[in-house]
Amino acid sequence: MLTLTADELRELTGKHRSDAQRRALIRMGLTFRQRPDHSLAVLRAHVQAVLGGAVAKPPEREPSYSDEWRPWIGTNMTPQAWFEKNLSSFTHGPDAVRARLMAPDAVPNISGIYFLYNDGELAYIGESVSTSYRFSQHAEGKEFDAAWAFRVPELYRVELEAAYIDAIEPPLNVRYRPANKHLVDAIRPLWRSGC
């Protein structure tokens, strides 16, 4: 069978509901498609390639959600109001990203959005609670020569990643989450001229 069965997906994620399975798959770094009936399609070969290969080097310390960055605390603002006010801090154009590129193993271990480049071209955008751990997973089987990451509060990490992917369409990304149109509209013009 090409895709995991419903039972295999429940066993893999430990979850029964599709929204919980989706979150678990994202945390595992697995891509998927949502079928019209809202069930998830996960390629068996992809799972074996990502999880069945050599074990990636663990991060220097395990990421902890209790360490989550919550910059709106003490501002008397809701998280959404804070994010809207500071949106320009999270929207970066190609020139800003290229100016900050470094070797993937030199990027600080943060919780945020990351950009991976190959031969000077943007190849992949991702999000992670631990960028160094994700870079070690990406290093197996793929060649990336430069990277950059920036910190994003966990509450907005997945949503912002989807907006970057939708706006820029990097060649190695698969669009599998609906993107927030407001965020896409803030990012797309920055990349139209300099991609």
Report the distance separating Cα 193 and Cα 195, nearest Å.
6
Q: Is the dihedral of CA 181, 147, 102, 107 positive or negative?
A: positive
Number of neighbouring beta carbons within 10 Å of residue 119: 9
For residue range 82-137, what is the model confidence (pLDDT) as tens digits? 888 988 888 888 998 989 998 887 888 888 999 999 888 999 999 988 887 888 77
CB 158 within 8 A of CB 112: no
43 and 98 belong to one structural domain: no
41 and 103 belong to one structural domain: no
User: In 3D, which of 112, 183, 97 has the Cα closest to residue 153?
Assistant: 112
CB 156 within 8 A of CB 166: no
155 and 114 belong to one structural domain: yes
- Owner of token pair 């039972």: 7
Report the distance separating Cα 119 and Cα 65, nearest Å.
34
pTM score, whole prediction: 0.63
For residue range 22-70, what is the model confidence (pLDDT) as tens digits? 888 887 788 888 887 778 888 887 777 777 643 334 444 444 444 567 8
CATH number of the domain that residue 82 is part of: 3.40.1440.10
pLDDT at position 71 is 83
45 and 73 belong to one structural domain: no
100 and 181 belong to one structural domain: yes
Average pLDDT over residues 68-85: 83
- Token digits of residue 9: 């997906």
- Owner of token pair 């020139």: 95
pLDDT at position 48 is 78
Q: What is the domain range of residue 184? A: 67-192
105 and 163 belong to one structural domain: yes
169 and 97 belong to one structural domain: yes
168 and 120 belong to one structural domain: yes
Total count of domains within the chain: 2
Report the distance separating Cα 7 and Cα 86, nearest Å.
43
